[in-house]
Amino acid sequence: MSRNASTADVEPRHRLAYWTDMVCDTYVQLECVPLGDARAIEGEISARRLATLDFTRVSATAQRVCRTPVKIARASEDYFLVSIQSAGEGFVIQDGRTARLVPGDFALYDSTRPYELRFDGAFQQYVLMLPGATLRSALRDTERLTASTVRGDRGAGHLMIGMIRTLAAEIGSLAPESAVAVADSVTQILVAGLSTLPAAQREPVSQLAAYHRAAIRALIDEHWRDPGFGVATIAQRLRVSPSTLHRAWRGEATSIADCIWARRLDGARRDLCDPALRARSVSGIAFGSGFNDSAHFSRAFRARVGCSPRALRESVLGSTGRSVLDGL
């Protein structure tokens, strides 16, 4: 799915309202205010959907963009957004911090709390938007990572800007079966970049705890499709008590049980976007991913991914046939 819009197609006196509507429709509910002597904002937005990742390029004149408590109360969207500066200078302000972005840098912000974006001159950014649950299951204490600059001249930040520029050039030619893998790769590099921030640093764990964590992850990777698989199964396989497992896992972003559910939902998401599984019903994919209740799967999937299983499948693969047993 792609969409392009520009204020150039609008009469000057209507451009500010048009721009604000365009921004709200693309991201979350926001207020836009031109800076300097301008009475309006000129700009354009190019939007693409990459599986569960919304990817946009925005170019515009100077402005302030605000996510206010009133806007949050009226539309409680739960997304993380990432601004990747590609031209000009920008500022991301949230949670008492201000991140200054120059080309190549990026910063994270959370739509569930107030934030401000400020651009004192013309600018261009790439913006990623992903469901809140996706990032919270990968990183702990995300509120400590917002409005913090990840430099684009080294490490994961450098990899991110390189991938984003390549993606911007090639996204139109991506095959559906590649979209999920590319979206996952972008998310992983994002997590890697945020993990370098001082606030993301963790206390070291013992060798025994590290061993147990690795063993837990290995078992989850191997058995997540089994509906009977859970913490008790892991404890039995590793011949330790559940309390020992929880102590070893302490400090991770989510509990072991939530990690299993996230693995199942991510597996189902990949299967839903796989053209080779187009003929398989959504319910069949849910049951094959370790779920035994279609309604629960649908609710959990929407909470994590931000849309229904059927909507995701149709956005990636187009309209698909529907089984009479497939009520999601």
Give the range among 47-51, 101-105, 191-195 with minimum mean pLDDT.
47-51
Same domain, 178 and 265: no
How is 278-325 classified by DSSP, letter by letter? Answer: TTS-HHHHHHHTT-S-HHHHHHHHHHHHSS-HHHHHHHHH-S----TT
> What phi, psi does 88 have (nearest 5°)?
75, -160
Please report whether residue 328 resides in a domain: no
Q: What is the DSSP letter of 149?
A: P
Same domain, 170 and 22: yes
Same domain, 190 and 68: yes
Same domain, 111 and 177: yes
Please report whether residue 313 resides in a domain: yes
Please report whether residue 103 resides in a domain: yes
Over residues 25-49, the mean pLDDT reads 92
**Taking a C-beta distance cutoff of 8 angstroms, is the pair 224, 267 a contact?**
yes
> What phi, psi does 125 have (nearest 5°)?
-135, 150
CATH of the domain at 242: 1.10.10.60
Rg (CA), the chain: 21
CATH of the domain at 14: 2.60.120.10
Q: How confident is the model at residue 323 (pLDDT cuts 50, 70, 90)?
A: very low
Please report whether residue 323 resides in a domain: no
**pTM for the whole structure:** 0.84
Alpha helix positions (H), 27-108: 69-74
Same domain, 178 and 307: no
Structural domain span for residue 258: 207-250+254-317
Please report whether residue 211 resides in a domain: yes
Q: How confident is the model at residue 288 (pLDDT cuts 50, 70, 90)?
A: very high
Please report whether residue 233 resides in a domain: yes
Same domain, 67 and 162: yes
Model confidence at 129: pLDDT above 60: yes
**Considering only CA atoms, which of 92, 85, 79, 25 is closest in space to residue 60?**
85
Same domain, 288 and 262: yes
The H or E element containing residue 5 is strand 2-6
Same domain, 120 and 228: no
If one compares 286 and 168, the residue with the highest pLDDT of the two is 286
Q: How confident is the model at residue 309 (pLDDT cuts 50, 70, 90)?
A: very high
Please report whether residue 322 resides in a domain: no
Over residues 244-263, the mean pLDDT reads 92
Most confident listed range (169-173, 194-198, 216-220): 216-220
Same domain, 190 and 309: no
How is 172-220 classified by DSSP, letter by letter? Answer: GG--HHHHHHHHHHHHHHHHHHHHTSGGG------HHHHHHHHHHHHHH
Q: How far is CA 271 from the centre of its chain?
A: 18
Same domain, 194 and 264: no
